[in-house]
A and B are shown apart, each in its own frame.
Chain A
C-alpha cells in the first residue's frame, strides 16, 4: 500500500522561496526534458515502462489468444508439476501447464489495466471531492476530510480483503477494492493542491471577472495540480501490482488461469522450495513472473522519482 502523503508542513524559509524559479510548467518543456535526460535512472525507468507498454499493446500478436477469453492462459494438458522452458513454451509452464510466456505477455495488459483503472477511479473521486472540498472550504471541507480520515483509519489490506470477500473475486471487484483503499490519499493530495491554487492571483482574477467555478477548475486549477498527481500515480502503479499479488497470495486473486503476474508469482509459493535434491527445480515459476513484476515496479518507481526531481518545486533550490 502506498503510505505516502503529501506533507504540507515542511518548514521553508521565505528567502529561499524567492530565489526559486517559477513553477516548472511555466518555464518550458525543453527545460523539463533536459533535466529528465540528465538522470540515467530516469532514462532507465522510461525505457522499462516503454517496453512494457509495447508488450501490452502488441499482446495479441506476440501471444495468440487460444481461449474464448483472451486473458485466459492456454494450457497443454493438466499435469500438476511445472515444466521448465522448452520449445513451444519459451518460459516454461506453471502448475496445470499454463503457459508462462502467454501469462507474462498478457499479464502486462492486466497490470496496466488494473493499475490504470484503480488510479483513474481514485483520481476521479479525488477530483470531485477534492475540488469541492478545497475550493469551497468550510463545512463541506470538514465533512469530506472526516470521511477521508475514517477510510484512512481503516487498515488498508483488511478493507480490500473485506470488499473482495463480500463481492467475490473477479478482476472488476479487485479493482474496486484497491481503488477504495487508494482514493483518500489522492483526495487529500488534490484538496491540498486546490487550496494552494485557489489563492493564486490569476484564479482570483478569473473569479472576479465572473468566470464560472467549473470553468476555473477545469482551465486553471487542474492543469496546475496535475504534477503532484502524476508523481503519486507513477509511484502507485508499482505498489498496486504488488497489492494485487498480495491479494492473490491470500487467495483473493483473479480466477485461476487468468493472465496476471500476481497470480503467477503467488503460484510459485508452492514450488519455491523445489524438489528434495534440487531447490532450483522450479526456478522459472518464481524468476520469470518475479522479473516482470520487479522490472515493472522498478520502472515506475524510477519514473516517479524522476518526475519528483523534475517537477517538485521545493527541490529546485536556488542553484
Chain B
C-alpha cells in the first residue's frame, strides 16, 4: 500500500514538473518577448486622472493610457516636446503672452481616443475643467487650481464653495483649434505642470457614463466624489499607446494592451502587466527566474540583487525628493506622551522648545549627515542646503549648509534658553512613521548624536503607525518628526512653498512664520525671468539656513532593477522610478 502511494506521488510529481520545468541556463532566452511584467509594492488607488495622487495609480494613468498636451523631452525635465498639442508654447513663438498670463496650445488633429472617437479641443477643455472642479479631498486638483484660479481648492475650510463655474470657464477657453489658458497670476512653472498633469479624456464618454457633462449648473453635484463614484475610477479611455484591458483589484493586477490606432506608430510591446507583490523575497525570486522584467527594490535591499545573472541595475539616478526632519515650534502638550514633563526641568520639553533658534542650530550641528547618507542610503544621496534641491532652478551648491560639528553644537546648546538648557537638560520623544528603515536610521542617528553631547540630553524614539501619526499631526503633537516631499512638477516653487511659506504644508503644521520668506516665495512664483528667479530662490535658501525651520538631511539618488533584455529605458526625474514609459520599452 505504502509503495503504491509513493509511486503514485512520484508519477504526479513527474507529470506536474514536465511541462513546467524552467531552463536553468546562464543566459536565458527572453521570456514572454511581447509582454512586459512589472512587480510593484503598492497598488493603484484610482485610474481616474483627476482623482489619483499616488505613484502606483500614476504609473498606469500616465503616459501609458492618458496623455498630456506637452511632454518632457526624454530625460530632460525643463525641455518639452509637443504631444496632444501640436506646438509647445513659448515666448518666442508667441503662444505665451508677454505678460505671462495667457498660454495658447494648438491642438493636434487626427488623434483618436481608445473608444474610436476623435479628440477635439472641447475634450481638452472639458478635461481641464473636470480636473479642477472635481477637486476631491487630498487630490491633485490644486495643481491647476492654483495657477489658473488663484485658489488651492474649490471649497473653503468650512466646505462651502468659493469658486464658480464662470471662474473656471474663463480660465480655460477654446479658440478655434486652440485651447487657451488664462492664468490668475504669472507662473513660470506653468508649462511643467502642464507636462505632467494636463491629461485628456473624452467628454462624451464621461457624460454617457454618469460623469459631469461639462455644463455650468451641474458641476457642484460632481464635486468631491468618493473613490467609487465615478466611472473613470476603474474604466479608462485615453489617447495613449496602451488601452486598459482589465484592472483586477483582487489579484492586484493591471493589464494593458497595445493601442494599434495610436496617433504615433504603435508601441513595440503588445501587453503590459503591472502586478502588486508586497513581499520583497517573492519579487526578487520572480526577477531572478525571468518571470518579471522590472521590480521595485528598496535601497536597503540592494545588496540582494547586485550581481544577479541576467539583471541590470542602474544607479545614481538623481531624484527630486527631499527628506527632512521638522521642528514643531508650538507643540500641543495636553495628553502628549512625547514631551515628558512639558517643562524645562530636565525631564521634558516646553511646548515652545524648538522656537529657540539656538536649540534648532544645536540640533542642526549635532546630526551626523555623512553617516546618515552612508548607512541609510548606502552613500547614494546628497545633503541638501535647503528645500531648493539639486536639479531645480535656483539650486546653488556654494551656499552654506550645516555639517556635523559637535563643538559648534555644544556652543549652540550652551546658549540656548538663556544658557539654562545645558545644565538643566531635556527629554523628549522623536517620532517617525513605521515602515521606512531610512527614517528609523535617521531617528536613531539623531538620538545617538544628541545623547553623546550631554548626558542630561535624553531623546527617545518612537515609531508610530500611520493612523497614530495622522492623529498626532492633526493635533500638533509632533515634536521633531521625519517627513519627506516628492516632486509634483520640477519647479522650485513646488518645494519652496510647502517648506517656507507660512501657508505651506510644513510651516502651517509647525507654526513657523517668516514674513521675508512669504514675500520671496510669492515673488518667485510670479516672476518670469529665470535669472531673477534663481536669485530669489538663493535668498530663500539662505533664510532656510538662517532660520532652520527644518533639517534638510538627504536628497536620495534612485536605482532601478530590471532584466538585461529590457531595452529602451530612459530616466526622467519626474516620471521614474515610480513609473515606466512603456511606449519606449521593448524586450530583446
To the question of whether A and B form a pair in one complex, the answer is: yes
A interface, CB within 8 angstroms of B: 68, 75, 77-81, 95-96, 165, 168-169, 251-252, 255-257, 269-277
Which chain B residues in 430-477 approach chain A with CB under 8 Å? 434-435, 437, 440-441, 444-445, 458, 460, 462-465, 467-468
Taking the complex as formed, is B376 at the interface, i.e. its CB lies under 8 A from any CB of chain A? yes
Instruction: Assess whether B281 is in contact with A270, with CB atoms less than 8 Å apart.
Output: yes
Instruction: Assess whether A269 is in contact with B445, with CB atoms less than 8 Å apart.
Output: no
In the assembled complex, 29 residue pairs joining A and B whose CB atoms fall closer than 8 Å, in A order, are: A77-B375, A78-B372, A78-B375, A78-B376, A78-B445, A79-B374, A80-B378, A80-B441, A81-B303, A95-B300, A96-B441, A165-B465, A168-B464, A168-B468, A169-B434, A251-B434, A251-B435, A251-B465, A255-B462, A256-B463, A270-B280, A272-B281, A273-B281, A273-B284, A274-B304, A275-B304, A275-B306, A276-B304, A276-B305
Query: B444 CB to closest chain A CB, in angstroms?
Result: 6
Chain A neighbourhood of B462, CB < 8 A:
255
Chain A neighbourhood of B557, CB < 8 A:
none
Bound together, the chains give a CA A68 to CA B279 distance in angstroms of 34
Instruction: Assess whether B279 is in contact with A269, with CB atoms less than 8 Å apart.
Output: yes
Instruction: Assess whether B375 is in contact with A80, with CB atoms less than 8 Å apart.
Output: yes
For A68, give its contact among B280, B299, B458, B465 (CB under 8 Å): B458
Bound together, the chains give a CA A251 to CA B309 distance in angstroms of 32
B interface, CB within 8 angstroms of A: 279-281, 284-285, 288, 299-301, 303-309, 311, 371-372, 374-376, 378, 434-435, 437, 440-441, 444-445, 458, 460, 462-465, 467-468
On whether A273 and B371 interact (CB within 8 A), knowing A78-B376, A168-B468, the answer reads no
On whether A270 and B300 interact (CB within 8 A), knowing A78-B445, A79-B375, the answer reads yes
On whether A276 and B435 interact (CB within 8 A), knowing A80-B375, A96-B444, the answer reads no
Bound together, the chains give a CA A75 to CA B305 distance in angstroms of 25
Query: B285 CB to closest chain A CB, in angstroms?
Result: 6
Query: B157 CB to closest chain A CB, in angstroms?
Result: 29
Extra A-B contacts (20), CB below 8 Å, given A79-B375, A255-B463, A270-B300? A78-B375, A80-B299, A80-B376, A80-B437, A80-B441, A96-B441, A168-B465, A168-B468, A169-B465, A251-B434, A251-B435, A256-B440, A256-B463, A273-B281, A275-B304, A276-B306, A276-B307, A276-B308, A276-B309, A277-B307
Bound together, the chains give a CA A155 to CA B474 distance in angstroms of 33
Closest 6 CB pairs of A and B: A276-B308, A78-B375, A276-B307, A80-B300, A78-B441, A79-B375
Instruction: Assess whether B285 is in contact with A273, with CB atoms less than 8 Å apart.
Output: yes
Bound together, the chains give a CA A96 to CA B376 distance in angstroms of 9
Query: A81 CB to closest chain B CB, in angstroms?
Result: 5
Find the A residue at minimum CB distance from B307: A276
Bound together, the chains give a CA A80 to CA B375 distance in angstroms of 6
Chain B neighbourhood of A255, CB < 8 A:
462-463
Chain A neighbourhood of B464, CB < 8 A:
168
Query: B582 CB to closest chain A CB, in angstroms?
Result: 27
Chain B neighbourhood of A95, CB < 8 A:
300, 437
Find the B residue at minimum CB distance from A167: B468
Bound together, the chains give a CA A265 to CA B543 distance in angstroms of 46
Bound together, the chains give a CA A95 to CA B440 distance in angstroms of 12
Chain A neighbourhood of B435, CB < 8 A:
251
Bound together, the chains give a CA A95 to CA B285 distance in angstroms of 20
